[in-house]
Amino acid sequence: KIVGTGPLRESLERQARSNIEFLGWQDDRRVAELYAACQAFLFPGEEDFGIVPLEAQACGCPVIAFGRGGATETVRALGDTTEPTGMFFEEQTTDSLIDAMEVFERNADRFDPRRIMQIAMLMFMGVSLGWGVLLYTDTLELDLSKVIPSVAGPRVAMILVRRNGSEAGMPKLVQESRR
């Protein structure tokens, strides 16, 4: 399934096989549901920070990413750790991506969705984005003062991820003013 729109969509749809579904623009809730339901998130591009792979991990979804750019900072790679959150492929070619997907399938049991969410929370709890602090958690019950004793800045932004039945993986952006 491919989410999003852009100038190449029509061309890509004409080239795609019947097992590829183009969903177009989706709201945040639907994107989170898709992340939570998929086997892995494929990220073949290169960007500075890697926020999209980070969003996928916050929903418990392992990432198969091109091994350059921001993804290398936000994905814990299979082979580099005992608790991977994803893996990399080295060339932006069809063969390299297919090889990575085959390795992923052989190692699928090494990727624990709940642990991926926890690692995302631990790794990025203190990442300053200028407008606040990005947090990931698997519960909507979070006492901020216990997580960050002295929060810098006037606001804290948290992406909270619920993993219970009908709302699995639903992120919710919460902004809370300091008192």
pLDDT tens-digit readout, 88-126: 999 999 999 999 999 999 999 999 999 998 888 776 654
Tokens representing 162 are 């619920």
Contact residues for 8 (Cβ-Cβ < 8 A; gap 6+): none
| CA–CA dist 9, 164 (Å, integer) | 34
Strands (E), the chain: 2-3, 22-24, 41-43, 63-66, 86-89, 127-128, 133-134, 136-137, 155-162, 170-177
Decide: helix, strand or coil at residue 29: helix
Give φ, ψ of 164 to 5 degrees. Answer: -135, 110
Rounded mean pLDDT of 143-154?
Answer: 39
| Highest mean pLDDT out of 19-28, 40-49, 60-69, 156-165 | 60-69
Q: Supply the pTM of this predicted model.
A: 0.68
Rounded mean pLDDT of 126-141?
Answer: 40
CA 135 to chain centre: 13
Rounded mean pLDDT of 167-175?
Answer: 35
Q: Is the Cβ–Cβ distance between 44 and 23 less than 8 Å?
A: no
Q: Which of 29-33, 90-94, 148-152 has the lowest mean pLDDT?
A: 148-152
